[in-house]
């Protein structure tokens, strides 16, 4: 476990660097990220390169024994380049409007000119610093896809999209058949006629801009756009690896407040050495719930199923033009330990010191604008001291996980094209399931439909609207070998090309679920009562009206014309079991359903869960422990089974522990003869 910070020495006079680095050491900071926005310093004029300033910065950092993650500056093409090549460099939005110079991320991922410029500069940077002793890693670009920049609608993208489709479908007739282009007379005669899905005549009432265009075309464009970003990133990774053995990453965005990026992170992560993300909890654009932050940690960990970094973690009250609430005393420490509990091995606070100028002058850092010590500095420093002690007792930690939730980016993009009913959001549905287990203190991993599922006792696949043949086989083998799968409404009803299957729902999953969905009732501005093994509850999104074939009923609707019809079923399939939940559930009912699933699959807890308390069992491969984190603004009492050591304070505790507001405990069984914390997953 380590803490670091994002540092911008180029924003300050050199006389200040010594003070900063001495203060960082007092704070327990071991690593800084630098350089990710500095193109205009590396190349102030076309073809004129200067590296002496970075040479000197690295020399000073090395003198103070500070490790470095060096960013590639492709997020911010300089003004001279935009002026000269703007027509071929700038992005265009779905209305055909240019996204011009100013802010950042205004480049097109498919601009040949820009990619050539990026390759040239990254080659020079990697060649010069690839083996520098103070560098320990690389970050590609910054927040790829941020601010809806994954999808570009310029002429470059249209031409390359047409080529992408030609490679995929071979003939225009095959594309037309697949898309059903006969609908609305949208038949293409040649690939050169295929459009990118601009905002069309039917978009006026649709703020998301997905209404009206052919859903197969839109999904193909989403896949193409994601692949374009990944290709852009991989070109830089390939260059760096020619000159450097240091690990490479990029900083991802969350699935909540930032609503994702339109990039398939499972696919993007394949070429990374480790994953990283930016964790902002309370700021101008929203407030993330505790379960949502935990979910995002789990997602980033799951993309490679290994420890990750938080490359930017909130350090203060932040925002561009308006600020979110200031973290209360103890919350910075709490958020840091929550990151470690969920599998982070390094947490970088953004930023070291609040900038005096520019767009992010309100985006406060560990230090305020005055550069003096403050409450935040002291709290992070305390955390750093504690981490040093803990590192003598524990190795790299990962949560102990036996429950998985399936996430498919193909499904996510399909649901965004046609979101079924007002209020439906795929990632929100995944969070509803995640929250239920989070509130029980049971860690969850995320998996793709292609992942090996054999190590999980329980796999939940909400709204799995499409799967490939191989993915379906993967699910079938998991269940037949004794696994437990939960499917939900809007599953198995589409092809991978985003067209409807001529089957009764749940479509391709009818055999394994043992049901038919005779009809469904979208809960458009209404709700329906349900009851079953989850107690009583309410559906407010969707109600599948189910007729069991071989399945047995575990829940029913208790009102509407379909009162008494099944809403939850269980079906034996091979050696395993498939549950089908045909409706959404309110939070308490979902939690009770999760409890039922855990009981049925031998997944148990050793600490009593309660509201606002995050409980995460972890292991370093040899030892086990449990993080208990109080996200409440009041003191709580948590029951403890047996005698434990609390590792942060080094004190023995028995029967219960008291946690003050935003406090943290790490518990470890005192006796090796006692049952392990990981029994909850055995």
Instruction: Indicate if 641 and 574 belong to the same structural domain.
Output: no
**What letters, b where the CB count within 10 A reaches 16 and e where it falls short, cover 508-526?**
bbbebbbbbbeebbebeee
- How many alpha carbons lie under 13 Å from residue 641 in its C-beta half-sphere? 12
Instruction: Indicate if 651 and 547 belong to the same structural domain.
Output: no
**Cα–Cα distance for residue pair 31/284, rounded to 1 Å:** 27
Range of the domain at 525: 403-600
Residue 177 within a domain: yes
Q: What residues form the annotated binding site?
A: 104, 108, 142, 152, 154, 157, 320
Residue 236 within a domain: no
312 is an active site residue = yes
The answer to whether residues 289 and 313 touch, using CB atoms and an 8 Å cutoff, is no
Dihedral through CA 56, CA 31, CA 325, CA 648, nearest 10? Answer: -150
- Between the alpha carbon of residue 103 and those of residues 12, 74, 150, 496, the distances in Å are 21, 13, 16, 37
Write down which residue in 199, 216, 233 finishes a domain: 216
- The CATH number of whichever domain residue 673 belongs to comes to 2.60.40.1180
Among residues 36, 43, 143, 386, the one annotated as catalytic is 143
Select from 449, 491, 497, 499 the least CA-distant residue to 221. 497
Among residues 36, 43, 199, 312, the one annotated as catalytic is 312
Convert the pLDDT of each residue in 298-347 to its tens digit: 999 999 999 999 999 999 999 999 999 999 999 999 999 999 999 999 99
Confidence of residue 128 (pLDDT cuts 50, 70, 90): very high
Residue 544 within a domain: yes
Residue 45 within a domain: no
Instruction: Indicate if 564 and 656 belong to the same structural domain.
Output: no
Q: What residues form the annotated binding site for Zn(2+)?
A: 108, 152, 154, 157
- The model's pTM is 0.96
573 is written with which tokens?
């399939």
Residue 287 within a domain: no
Instruction: Indicate if 433 and 539 belong to the same structural domain.
Output: yes
Select from 673, 494, 485, 652 the least CA-distant residue to 579. 485
Residue 286 within a domain: no
388 is written with which tokens?
């040093």
- Map tokens 């203190």 to a residue: 441
Q: Tell me: cis bond preceding 506? Omega within 30 of 0 counts.
A: yes
Instruction: Indicate if 430 and 528 belong to the same structural domain.
Output: yes
Convert the pLDDT of each residue in 91-109 to its tens digit: 999 999 999 999 999 999 9
User: Taking CA 293 as the corner, what is the angle to CA 291 and CA 298, rounded to the nearest 5 degrees?
Assistant: 90
User: Taking CA 152 as the corner, what is the angle to CA 150 and CA 153, rounded to the nearest 5 degrees?
Assistant: 155
Convert the pLDDT of each residue in 419-431 to its tens digit: 999 999 999 999 9
pLDDT at 257 over 70: no
Q: What residues form the annotated binding site for substrate?
A: 104, 142, 320
pLDDT average, residue stretch 243-266: 89
pLDDT at 352 over 50: yes
Instruction: Indicate if 674 and 575 belong to the same structural domain.
Output: no
**Cα–Cα distance for residue pair 234/232, rounded to 1 Å:** 6
- The CATH number of whichever domain residue 488 belongs to comes to 3.40.50.880
The answer to whether residues 222 and 214 touch, using CB atoms and an 8 Å cutoff, is no
Select from 68, 56, 58 the least CA-distant residue to 4. 68
577 is written with which tokens?
């079991």
pLDDT the model gives residue 678: 43
Convert the pLDDT of each residue in 18-47 to its tens digit: 999 999 999 999 999 999 999 999 999 999
**Cα–Cα distance for residue pair 608/400, rounded to 1 Å:** 17
Task: Count structural domains, the chain.
Answer: 3
Confidence of residue 255 (pLDDT cuts 50, 70, 90): confident
Convert the pLDDT of each residue in 191-239 to its tens digit: 999 999 998 877 655 555 557 899 999 999 999 999 999 999 999 999 9
Instruction: Indicate if 573 and 649 belong to the same structural domain.
Output: no
pLDDT the model gives residue 202: 74
Residue 199 within a domain: yes
143 is an active site residue = yes
Instruction: Indicate if 455 and 566 belong to the same structural domain.
Output: yes
Convert the pLDDT of each residue in 144-155 to its tens digit: 999 999 999 999
The answer to whether residues 176 and 188 touch, using CB atoms and an 8 Å cutoff, is yes
Residue 553 within a domain: yes
Convert the pLDDT of each residue in 39-74 to its tens digit: 999 999 999 999 999 999 999 999 999 999 999 999
The backbone torsions φ and ψ at residue 392, rounded to the nearest 5 degrees and listed phi first, read -80, -15
**Cα–Cα distance for residue pair 274/300, rounded to 1 Å:** 10
344-350 vs 308-314, strand pairing mode: parallel
Residues paired with residue 70 on neighbouring β-strands, in sequence order: 34, 138
**Cα–Cα distance for residue pair 273/266, rounded to 1 Å:** 13
Confidence of residue 673 (pLDDT cuts 50, 70, 90): very low
Instruction: Indicate if 501 and 628 belong to the same structural domain.
Output: no
Instruction: Indicate if 430 and 482 belong to the same structural domain.
Output: yes
Convert the pLDDT of each residue in 510-567 to its tens digit: 999 999 999 999 999 999 999 999 999 999 999 999 999 999 999 999 999 999 999 9
pLDDT the model gives residue 607: 76
Instruction: Indicate if 578 and 636 belong to the same structural domain.
Output: no
Instruction: Indicate if 577 and 630 belong to the same structural domain.
Output: no
Write down which residue in 566, 600, 634 finishes a domain: 600
Write down which residue in 535, 565, 600 finishes a domain: 600
């Amino acid at each position: 476990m380590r803490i670091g910070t994002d540092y911008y020495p180029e924003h300050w006079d050199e006389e200040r660097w010594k003070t900063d680095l001495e203060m960082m050491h007092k704070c327990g900071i071991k690593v800084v990220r630098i350089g990710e926005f500095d193109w205009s310093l590396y190349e102030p004029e076309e073809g004129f390169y200067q590296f002496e300033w970075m040479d000197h910065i690295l020399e000073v950092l090395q003198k103070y024994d500070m490790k470095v993650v060096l960013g590639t500056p492709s997020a911010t093409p300089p003004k001279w380049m935009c002026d000269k090549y703007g027509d071929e460099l700038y992005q265009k939005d779905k209305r055909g409007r240019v996204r011009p110079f100013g802010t950042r991320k205004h480049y097109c991922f498919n601009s040949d000119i820009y990619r050539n410029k990026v390759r040239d500069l990254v080659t020079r940077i990697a060649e010069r610093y690839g083996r520098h002793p103070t560098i320990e890693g690389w970050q590609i670009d910054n927040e790829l896809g941020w601010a809806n920049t994954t999808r570009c609608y310029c002429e470059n993208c249209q031409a390359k999209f047409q080529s992408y489709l030609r490679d995929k479908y071979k003939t225009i007739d095959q594309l037309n058949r697949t898309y059903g282009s006969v609908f609305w007379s949208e038949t293409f005669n040649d690939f050169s006629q295929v459009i990118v899905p601009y905002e069309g005549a039917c978009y006026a009432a649709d703020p998301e801009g997905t209404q009206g265009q052919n859903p197969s075309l839109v999904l193909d464009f989403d896949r193409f756009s994601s692949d374009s970003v990944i290709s852009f990133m991989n070109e830089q990774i390939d260059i760096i690896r020619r000159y450097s053995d240091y690990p490479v990453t990029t900083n991802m965005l969350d699935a909540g407040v930032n609503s994702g990026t339109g990039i398939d992170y499972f696919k993007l992560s394949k070429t990374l050495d480790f994953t990283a993300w930016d964790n902002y909890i309370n700021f101008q654009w929203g407030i993330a719930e505790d379960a949502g932050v935990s979910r995002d940690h789990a997602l980033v960990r799951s993309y490679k199923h290994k420890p990750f970094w938080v490359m930017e973690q909130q350090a203060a009250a932040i925002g561009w033009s308006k600020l979110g609430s200031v973290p209360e005393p103890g919350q910075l420490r709490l958020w840091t330990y929550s990151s470690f509990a969920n599998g982070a091995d390094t947490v970088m606070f953004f930023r070291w010191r609040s900038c005096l100028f520019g767009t992010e002058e309100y985006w406060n850092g560990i230090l305020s604008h005055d550069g003096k010590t403050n409450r935040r500095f002291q709290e992070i420093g305390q955390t750093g001291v504690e981490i040093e002690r803990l590192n003598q007792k524990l190795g790299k930690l990962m949560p102990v996980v036996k429950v998985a939730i399936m996430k498919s980016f193909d499904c996510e993009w399909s649901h965004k094209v046609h979101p079924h009913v007002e209020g439906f959001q795929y990632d929100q549905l995944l969070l509803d399931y995640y929250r239920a287990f989070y509130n029980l203190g049971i860690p969850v991993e995320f998996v793709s439909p292609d992942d090996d599922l054999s190590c999980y006792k329980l796999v939940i696949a909400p709204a799995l609207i499409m799967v490939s043949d191989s993915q379906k086989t993967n699910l079938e083998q998991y269940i037949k070998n004794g696994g437990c799968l939960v499917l939900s409404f809007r599953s198995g009803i589409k092809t991978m090309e985003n067209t409807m299957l001529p089957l009764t729902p749940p479509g391709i999953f009818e055999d394994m679920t043992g049901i038919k969905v005779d009809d469904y009732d979208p809960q458009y501005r209404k709700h329906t009562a349900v009851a079953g093994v989850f107690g009583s509850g309410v559906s407010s999104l969707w109600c599948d009206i189910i007729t069991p074939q071989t399945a047995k009923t575990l829940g029913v609707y208790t009102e509407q014309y379909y009162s008494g019809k099944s809403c939850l079923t269980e079906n034996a399939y091979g050696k395993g079991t498939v549950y089908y939940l045909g409706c959404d559930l309110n939070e308490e009912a979902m939690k009770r359903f999760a409890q039922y699933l855990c009981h049925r699959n031998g997944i148990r807890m050793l600490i009593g869960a309660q509201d606002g308390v995050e409980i995460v069992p972890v292991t370093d491969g040899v030892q086990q422990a449990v993080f208990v984190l109080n996200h409440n603004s009041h003191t709580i009492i948590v029951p403890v089974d047996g005698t434990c050591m609390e590792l942060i304070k080094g004190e023995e505790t028995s029967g219960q522990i008291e946690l003050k507001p935003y406090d943290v405990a790490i518990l470890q069984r005192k006796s090796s003869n006692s049952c392990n914390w990981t029994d909850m997953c055995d």
